[in-house]
Structure 1
């Protein structure tokens, strides 16, 4: 790849470079090959091992790091580091087993009540991409249902002991358009479920639920059939999800690496990305995976990563990886940068919809000025003034 397309990772600390080396494909799997991959022939002196462990935990790739070190020559790695990785790996294994049991129970409840559901991530993704539950981390379950069945699915979850998390206030009956999922938590088990009716919040073009249901696959993870996305839909979802979050966790990029190991139909993937205005986002994922993890990109996929827009997006994501941050909430010093980054991800039609959506009231307007429900329609003409009021108040407090 020419220098103009090479991503600048010169500011990455040695600990992050080591992490990238450990999760990317290395052949032969020896400490010498690992050093060559990480530093171009340097050594591992000067590594802050505590920071390395923090990075592995932050990026949620410690299962891969630990199991790869067991297979490779791990002699340069301190014993305390291996113990810390092992402890996290063991805890995650039990967590994934617990989530699998919950996923099976919820899926049965939905089926018994006539709600069709597709598992988006979680244990299904671990089994599909990594071959076993313990090799991927997950904190919650993401379940996609038809927009027409959201209320029924919610009733089922509430009846099963889940409670609605705090979130967007449902005003003017526009909540299905404004947001793309609602979160629920079971106070007894601590499991959180995100109930989706769209793949993404950007209100752009995406496959309908009926289309995704027709392309669904069946998992053999449990005795009860669990359904999940077809290959093209899954790749689309993963690149859009990772891009929207700035790829601030390497786990999402590792998912792309593992998916590209599968026997994908490259022409179908490219056509799918193009149809849903996501070619540049797909190219961003391919560039990041190939240059940071060493993921092989086949000739059929290379044109997707060749565009200038894809390269700009990949370059923009580097800062999120380098700073070891989360974007919930967004750090203050990156607020403007992240907003501009999100806007650059959108297609022309998505940008137009985003601008229009700014005119719609939201829960912050209600918090600024409480009106009786029968007067909610007044939030439309009042919104610009409420926005100005909040801005001035924020500036005054600053």
Structure 2
């Protein structure tokens, strides 16, 4: 894991190379290293780091595997990027404003290279009132609804009626997952960045603060870097930071742009009830990748004793080498979500949503775990 972190960390190349060579002084379980890199979606960063610092130290079989993985990743990234640009042209023809985020936009914004950040689908955000039109564009392009299952079945009018219900009333639905079988592309069409039971506030602020990103010969609008950092933190917290790549994204953003508008970012996080999630993400990036804490938030981070207790199980899960996803309905995962939420109303909404989904015995397990958690 030290070797993997050294390869994935941002910063000066020589400093990174020195850390990698120091790690290679010890015996390396190359099979485990490759498994962890694949699980945490950082194979390209591992490959680049080893190639830069000590290519002669890598066994021939591992070099071949890395080359194969890189070839597949690059081809997939180019394929998905082409599809994204074609879809955005279709949306533009219909005057539908769409914000692409994650995927090729994130790879370009944070790494400057599509090949360094693997992605397997395309994420698009539209406004509530544009969901049906955007869905119509995707269906006309040969996409089929996969999830939610209740929407995927039935004739087109029934599908549209069910989508309307989800957009206006559902506490859990925030996206449609669609598949293009001929081109083998998965698209997630979002009208919210997160479900209401995790983040109930309006996502309108994401539309009011945009940045331009060059992708190929096109200039696309996407989240501002401040909003991207906010999203990465709340998204990572939703999944209990089970992938190293999510923290790596944060580290690269913080390293490249220490001049973010921190006063605005922290004020918005407080207003949205997500400051603890924001601070936890920054704390993890600092702890694992030695990214300097931004000065405007250094004092704020130092005064939060809750961050260490929240971060410890996350880092233990990443660093123990298990590389296993944890069930998000596990009592420990539920306790984490309750602790990372700041407002009682948000905790209650989250627990009520889960209580409707599982057996009564599981609710009792959650209650015991949460009771012992320091809230």
Does TM, scored on the shorter chain, surpass 0.5? yes
What SS does the aligned partner of 1:214 have? coil
In structure 2, do the counterparts of structure 1 residues 301 and 85 end up closer, same or farther at CA, with 3 Å as the change threshold? farther
In structure 2, do the counterparts of structure 1 residues 26 and 172 end up closer, same or farther at CA, with 3 Å as the change threshold? closer
Q: Is the 8 A contact 2:145 2:178 kept in 1?
A: yes
Q: Is the 8 A contact 1:60 1:249 kept in 2?
A: yes
1:285 paired with 2:246, answer no
In structure 2, do the counterparts of structure 1 residues 72 and 388 end up closer, same or farther at CA, with 3 Å as the change threshold? closer
Q: Tell me how large the CA RMSD over aligned residues is.
A: 2.7
In the alignment, what sits opposite 1:204?
Answer: 199
1:162 paired with 2:143, answer yes
Q: Is the 8 A contact 1:108 1:224 kept in 2?
A: no
What SS does the aligned partner of 1:189 have? coil
In structure 2, do the counterparts of structure 1 residues 104 and 250 end up closer, same or farther at CA, with 3 Å as the change threshold? same
1:103 paired with 2:89, answer no
What SS does the aligned partner of 1:251 have? helix
Q: Which runs of 5+ in 1 are unaligned?
A: 1-15, 365-386, 392-398
- Between structure 1 and structure 2, the one with the greater Rg is 1
Q: Is the 8 A contact 1:277 1:347 kept in 2?
A: yes
Matched ranges for 1:1-398 at <5 A: 16-25=1-10, 28-29=14-15, 33-34=19-20, 36=22, 38=23, 43-45=25-27, 47-167=28-148, 169=150, 174-176=165-167, 177=170, 178-201=172-195, 202-206=197-201, 208-209=203-204, 211-260=205-254, 261-262=256-257, 263-306=259-302, 307-321=304-318, 322=320, 323-327=322-326, 330=327, 335-348=330-343, 349-357=345-353
Aligned equivalents of 1:277 and 1:129: distance in 2?
A: 26
What SS does the aligned partner of 1:301 have? helix
Give the TM-score normalised by structure 1. Answer: 0.78
For these two proteins, the number of residue pairs brought into alignment is 342
What SS does the aligned partner of 1:169 have? helix
Q: Is the 8 A contact 1:180 1:196 kept in 2?
A: yes
Aligned equivalents of 2:209 and 2:294: distance in 1?
A: 24
Q: Which moved more, 1:296-305 or 1:124-133?
A: 296-305
Give the TM-score normalised by structure 2. Answer: 0.83
Q: Which moved more, 1:163-172 or 1:287-296?
A: 163-172
